Amino acid sequence: MKIRKLTSLLAATILASGLASAASAKTLVYCSEGSPEGFDTALYTAGTTFDASSKPVYSGLVQFEPGTTNVVPDLAESWEVSDDGLEFTFKLRPGVKFHTTDFFTPTRDMNADDIIFTFERQMDEENPYFSYVEGASWEYFNAMSMPDLVSSIEKVDDMTVKFVLTRPEAPFVANLAMDFASIVSKEYADSLIESDTKSDLNQKPVGTGPFQFVAYQPDAVIRYKAFPDYYAGKQPIDDLVFAITTDNAVRQQKLLAGECHVMPYPNPADVQSLKDNEDITVMEQEGLNVGYLAYNTKVAPFDNAKVRKALNMAINKQAILDTVFQGAGQAAKNPIPPTMWSYNDSIEDDPYDPDAAKAMLEEAGVTDLSMKVWAMPVQRPYNPNARRMAEVIQEDFSKIGVEVEIVSYEWGEYLERSKAEDRDGAVLLGWTGDNGDPDNFLAVLLGCDGVGGANRAQWCNEEFNDLIMKAKTGTQEERTALYEEAQVVFKREAPWATIAHSVVHMPMRSNVTGYKMDPLGGHNFEGVDLAE
């Protein structure tokens, strides 16, 4: 009897929630993977935070064209670069409105003051917002070397802003499409100073983006609604809700139960069953990342390109894709991912050929080689299980008579120790692109400046370095040609074994339309609709 009562109570609850959901058809629920650290995007570096702040709420001067890494206008209608490559002048879009919310009503449209304030608060210690929350550090702005790069930002007139650089840097415009460059309202910031609630800039965001912030309940729910005066037009959905669900198996159950419409990061092993479900659509795209094994090219015998090449030929990438990526990966032949412009598809990957590899090693005079392979202690998009990957490589290398010892350290230690120029062993690591520019991979990870730092192969090749330095300026066509050539040099010299690019899966309910996957890994709901 009691059980029957309980059952009918539950049935009534479900019926009630079912009816209610029918009444609000234009609410899109996204089961996000974690809580945002805050809402002032520039303070943070995590993708989860960007998804909840810059993507829905803010706009930048420029943006990545949805679904690509091409830089297109956003709040700036157009821009010009001076002949010496040092001055970038942006013409702002007129009539752009900031969000009107319960906590702020703007009295003017977006103008040059907002642009200048956005960047000054990240670079000028005198700015009242420079350290407005304890431990404010503007990490991405610093990581992209913006303090050294930007000499001044000038207001030419209300709708024109000029950035003066200390050196020519073509990727600069792509940097401005990044999340840390989201434009905040100076008027709002000033009003918060008056009410002595500056920290609200990080908790109650006001932007010019497609959705305006409504409420956030930590670790539970974030609510947005479509901004009616968005400059590119009101969004097709009325409300956007992030239901924070950290466990991927639970996210999947919620998606299947219709409690959310879109979920990120499914368990790779479950992707096939999701694809088989007719209520679910699974989109997929290569991630803008690369996982690699970096030899220490300063230590014998790895200073010999022939030895490195031989080892590369001994790695069975298909086995790694099957066991480590479980299908959510793609073999990598170049140091940049295939979705990035200038990717040189004409390059042939080293064949998997243990016999030839063994012969090459002998030719190089290397016998009885034993080496260390460093396995990361953490899971990353470009390497979901480094320990397992190291084991596969260990087995592969043993087939050509190379003995491998697998080592690992705590993650912070690992990153630090692997930088040492006299490091013993080859390091498993990877990189996820920041701004879609090849410079962000090739110069950062393989340039001579990075030796002893992000260049884990400690590889300084003059020919390669000249090419990538030349490519820092010029038109995209000119730069593409240089990068394509640089990739040829890379392949010939083999400072890394390029292992894989991840494949990102995005399961969603079949009635979700207009979703575009972001190669940079963000989750953006602009233009997304729900079919009846």
Partner 1 sequence: MLRFFLYRLALVIPTFIGVSIVAFAFIRLLPGDPILLLAGERGITPERYEQLQAVYGFDRPVIVQYLDYVAGILQGDLGTSLVTKRPVLQEFFTLFPATLELALCAIILAVVIGIPAGVFAAVKRGSWFDQSIMGVALTGYSMPIFWWGLLLIIFFSGFLGWTPVSGRISLLFFFEPVTGFMLIDSLLSGQAGAFKSAVSHLILPTIVLATIPLAVIARQTRSAMLEVLGEDYVRTAKSKGLAPKRIIGLHALRNALIPVVTTIGLQVGVLMTGAILTETIFSWPGIGKWMIDSVGKRDYAVVQGGLLLIASVIMIVNLAVDVLYGFINPRIRR
Q: Catalog residues that contact partner 1 under the rule CB under 8 A.
A: 7, 9-14, 16-17, 20-21, 24, 27, 29, 34-35, 37-38, 43, 45, 131, 133-137, 139, 142-143, 199, 202-203, 215, 217-221, 223, 241, 243-247, 249-250, 253-254, 256-257, 259, 380, 409-413, 415-416, 419, 429-432, 434, 453-454
Closer to partner 1 at the Cβ: 100 or 142?
Answer: 142
CB 52 within 8 A of CB 240: no
d(CA 532, CA 521): 28
Phi, psi (deg, nearest 5) at residue 314:
-85, -10
CB of 309 to partner 1, least distance (A): 25
User: How far apart are CB 114 and partner 1 at their closest, in Å?
Assistant: 22
DSSP β-ladder status, 496-509 and 289-294: antiparallel
**Closer CB to partner 1, residue 243 or residue 305?**
243
Q: Quick check: 127 and 141 in contact, CB under 8 A?
A: no
Q: In terms of CB distance, is 203 or 323 closer to partner 1?
A: 203
Minimum CB–partner distance for residue 98 and partner 1 (Å)? 23
Euclidean distance between CA atoms 440 and 233, whole angstroms: 33
Cβ pair 222, 36 in contact under 8 A: yes
- Looking up tokens 């990581």, which residue turns up? 143
Q: What is the DSSP letter of 122?
A: H
Token digits of residue 22:
């029918």
Least CB distance from residue 447 to partner 1, whole Å?
A: 13
Compute how many other C-beta atoms are within 10 angstroms of the C-beta atom of residue 106. 17
Q: How far apart are CA 112 and CA 158, in angstroms?
A: 5
User: Measured from the CB of residue 405, what is the shortest distance to partner 1 in angstroms?
Assistant: 20
- SS3 category, 282: strand
Judged by CB, which is closer to partner 1: 92, or 263?
Answer: 263
Between 95 and 218, name the residue whose CB sits nearer to partner 1. 218
- Rounded to whole angstroms, the Cα distance separating 184 from 202 reads 11
Quote the least distance from Cβ 451 to partner 1, whole Å: 13
**Smaller CB separation from partner 1, 350 or 439:** 439
Question: Cα separation of 302 and 280, whole Å?
Answer: 48
Residue with smaller CB distance to partner 1, 82 or 131:
131
CA distance 388 to 320: 9
Q: Which of 354/381 has CB closer to partner 1?
A: 381
Closest to 211 in 3D by CA, of 101, 63, 306, 349: 101
Indicate if the alpha-carbon torsion angle 357, 363, 367, 372 is positive or negative.
Answer: negative
CA distance 171 to 435: 8
For partner 1, the closer CB: 124 or 259: 259
CB of 354 to partner 1, least distance (A): 31
Residue 45 beta carbon to partner 1: minimum distance, rounded to whole angstroms: 7
Q: What is d(CA 257, CA 245) in angstroms, rounded to the nearest whole number?
A: 14
The minimum distance between CB 473 and partner 1, in angstroms, equals 24
Taking Cα atoms as reference points, which of 212, 236, 208, 235 lies closest to residue 225? 212
Minimum CB distance to partner 1 smaller for 84 or for 276: 276
CB of residue 327 vs partner 1: minimum separation in angstroms?
23
